[in-house]
Amino acid sequence: MRELENVIERAVILANGPLLTENLLPVSSRPEQARSAEPLPMISLDELERRHILAVYRQTGFHKSKTAEVLGVSRKTLDRKLAEYSSE
């Protein structure tokens, strides 16, 4: 139940209007796409984290507070991570 609440909460935060659409749901919540999805590339956990943070950051329109909320981290942690990525 908690997992469903998290998925819905994330979709509400990312929605640009009153309508929640399928593209706001994670692929794993879309059975027909999950079966046909390509296997994940073999990357490090750090790289996976970097990609996920940057993807959420883009999806929120580069809104740091929304991004931190979706990711469940503090704004300070997000700022540190983004600074780390920009120096790479």
* C-alpha–C-alpha distance, residues 3 and 51, integer Å: 22
Q: What is the pTM of this model?
A: 0.57
Taking only the tens place, the pLDDT of each residue in 24-49 is 777 655 555 545 556 767 888 899 99
For the chain, the straight-line distance linking the first and the last C-alpha, in angstroms and rounded, comes to: 39
Position with higher pLDDT, 75 vs 7: 75
Give the count of beta carbons closer than 10 Å to the beta carbon of residue 76.
9
**In the predicted model, is pLDDT for residue 23 greater than 90?**
no
The answer to whether residues 42 and 53 touch, using CB atoms and an 8 Å cutoff, is: no
pLDDT > 70 in the chain, percent: 85
| 39-88 under CATH 1.10.10.60, yes or no | yes
Burial of 16 (0-12, 13-18, 19+ CB in 10 A): exposed
Can you give the residue ranges of every domain in the chain?
Answer: 1-37, 39-88
> What single-letter amino acid sits at 71?
L
Percent of the chain whose pLDDT exceeds 90: 44
What integer best gives the mean pLDDT of the chain? 82
